[in-house]
Amino acid sequence: MTLNGRLPRWFAALTTMVVACGAAVAQTKEVTFAHQDMLVPLRTVMESGELEKATGYKINWRMFGGGGDVIRAMASGDVQIGEAGSSPIAAAASQGQDIHLFWILDDIADAEALVARNGSGIASVADLKGKKVATPFVSTAHYQLLAALNDAKVNAKEVQILNMRPPEVAAAWERGDIDATFIWDPVLTKVKGNGKVVISSGDIAKLGKPTFDAIMVNKAWAEKNQDFVTKLIAAIAKQDADYNAAKAKWTADSEDVKAVAKIVGAKPEDVPAAMAAYNFPSAKEQASNTWLGGGKDGGVAKAMADTANFLKEQGRITAVAADYSAFVNPTYAAAAAK
């Protein structure tokens, strides 16, 4: 009953409390996800909103220019989940960041490469001495560039290595400011237009330096939001499986390819070939010792340790962790594989 058309004070107070509690609950179902411009099947469910439907969370998508930026954003607490390459993730773990790597976004395979500008006089890695080479620092491309120089017995100090994010690399290439770049798509396709591949990430993997892109999460946040992470991985695993089963259908005029191109700012006609350069391990493969499983001797933990040791040798980090399996969580991939 109202008094003179007004609600009783106790009822108004109760209503305010209910609304406040509802807002608090809603707030817990929100997450910020840092992504980059890698061409992967995940982009299609980002564009469609399927991940929000599957998890029930509001996902704030934020695009970053490199893995170094992602790990800094996660360290600040602004981002809970993020994509980064194996090199920046190894760096973050080495610095004691509270993260879990829980999904392999892609096995980079031949999807990154060192491209030399036509007329630059660069025909081999050894020819990089004195040249300007751009790459995003602390990225997998940066790690691979250093590994290639090390294998060719070229002192990195003899090369003008410039720290540039992908859009900056594209602009510098257009202006003719750089001689070469170690980069990924969509910029990789652009620079190949008037350049040639000197060495690829696949070539460097054969030297015992494999690289991959992965999704990591703030460990404490994941423990409180396990249902979200489980449903997220189930949806991503399904999309990866759909791609692996029907790559021929991912043509320039397909809706899936258009969605990928829209998210990363690529041309649809460039997407199919660029995506084909990556490998996308299944949930079962990811849960195995080849990737996330196996503890300290698992593929990912060993790759992170090897990467960290290399980065320390290059002066990029100051310490190496005793066991990188502490930063790897295979349980979500295992659940998605069932």
Sequence spans of domains, the chain: 29-107+211-337, 112-205
pLDDT score of 5: 46
Beta carbons of 169 and 181 less than 8 angstroms apart: yes
Mean pLDDT value of segment 128-142:
95
Q: Is residue 15's pLDDT more than 80? A: no
Q: Note the helical H segments in the chain.
A: 9-28, 42-48, 50-55, 67-76, 86-94, 140-151, 166-175, 187-192, 201-205, 219-224, 226-245, 255-264, 271-276, 283-287, 299-313, 331-337
**199, β-bridge pairs:** 114
| Over residues 192-206, mean pLDDT | 95
Query: DSSP assignment, residue 120?
Result: S
- pLDDT tens string 19-30: 444 444 444 699
Q: Strand 81-85 and strand 30-35: pairing?
A: parallel
Over residues 52-67, the mean pLDDT reads 95
- What size, in residues, is the chain? 338
Q: Residue 148 carries which side chain, given as an amino acid letter?
A: A
pLDDT at 62 over 80: yes
Q: Which whole number is the average pLDDT over 230-250?
A: 96
Q: Quick count: other Cβ atoms within 10 Å of Cβ 96? A: 11
CATH topology for the 29-107+211-337 domain? D-Maltodextrin-Binding Protein; domain 2 (3.40.190)
Decide whether 29-107+211-337 matches 112-205 in CATH topology: yes
Mean pLDDT of 164-170: 96
Whether residue 310 has pLDDT greater than 80: yes
Q: What is the model's pLDDT at position 25?
A: 42
Q: Residues 45-50: what's their mean pLDDT? A: 95
CATH for 112-205, options being 3.40.190.10, 3.40.50.970, 3.30.1330.10, 3.40.1180.10: 3.40.190.10
pLDDT at site 271: 96
The whole-number pLDDT of residue 28 equals 60
End-to-end CA distance of the chain: 55
Question: How does the average pLDDT of the chain come out, rounded?
Answer: 91
Residue 26's pLDDT is 45
Mean pLDDT, rounded, for 100-107? 97
Tokens representing 288 are: 């195995």
Output the pLDDT for position 71.
Answer: 95
How many angstroms from the chain centroid is the CA of residue 303? Answer: 16
